[in-house]
Amino acid sequence: MSEIVYGLHAVEVLLKRNSDSVERLYVQSNRHDQRAHKLVKLAQSKDIPVSQKSREELDEMTEQRHQGVIAISRQLRKKQYHEKHIPELLDAVEGEPLVLILDGVTDPHNLGACLRSADAAGVNMVIAPKDNAASITDVVRKVACGAAESVPFIPVTNLVRTMKQLQERNIWIAGTAGEATQDIYQANLTGGLAVVMGAEGDGMRRLTRENCDFLIKIPMAGEVSSLNVSVATGVTLFEAVRQRQN
């Protein structure tokens, strides 16, 4: 089974990390810039066939914004993570774990951006519900710019049960909510920590909120009452990173 990977950065990450899964690289025929040339050389160095196609032909292969490069890949050799892998992933963490929980994020672009922030912040795993939430797709991979391959993404059947398992391992769970009494700069975000980000619009579900150890918020100075979930994820995670470096 093959899949399409598109976009300059996503294709570059694929060629570097999973080159043996790539069957062919297609490059837009009128692209002669340095970034496209770099991908061609990288593919050729790994004995991957390279073909040129017109913009129109590439558009027919995917409706997404491909930036003039498309790779055809056999099913990626990325490990598929399940709930049973959570203990072993935590056991392998050096220092205090940092976990991101996404409570029903449905937009694949938001999921990809959250994964990208998680990777940059050194998050050990991203947990999300199996149902009524975005999963890893080619759109997510492109937006994530390689983070979908580097950060363990774990869909779970019962989010509250998983949260309790984390708490049993001395991981504190901080839920983000506009009505929280303390902001991210006042809260203690050191130690074992799982940050919960709610769904677009509705925020965390009731049961998720009730099973958090404490709630935090991002202080808002302007007229806008909230941030996009992926932006809020980045802000919150990097405040945790800042505190943990002190």
204, two tokens = 């965390």
- Domains along the chain with CATH numbers: 2-74 (3.30.1330.30), 83-245 (3.40.1280.10)
Query: What is the rounded CA–CA span in Å between residue 233 and residue 175?
Result: 11
* Binding-site residues for S-adenosyl-L-methionine: 198, 218, 227
Name the pTM for this structure. Answer: 0.76
Strand order in the sheet with 125-129: 153-156, 125-129, 98-103, 193-198, 172-176, 214-216
pLDDT digit string (tens) for the chain, length 246 residues: 677 888 888 888 888 877 888 899 999 998 889 989 999 999 999 999 999 999 999 999 988 889 999 999 876 545 678 999 999 999 999 999 999 999 989 999 999 999 999 999 999 999 999 999 999 888 888 788 777 878 999 999 999 999 999 999 999 999 999 889 999 999 999 999 999 999 888 889 999 999 999 999 999 887 666 789 999 999 999 999 999 986
Q: Distance between CA 39 and CA 27 in Å, rounded?
A: 9
Binding-site annotation, residues: 198, 218, 227
Q: What is the dihedral of CA 191, 197, 203, 207, to 10 degrees?
A: -50
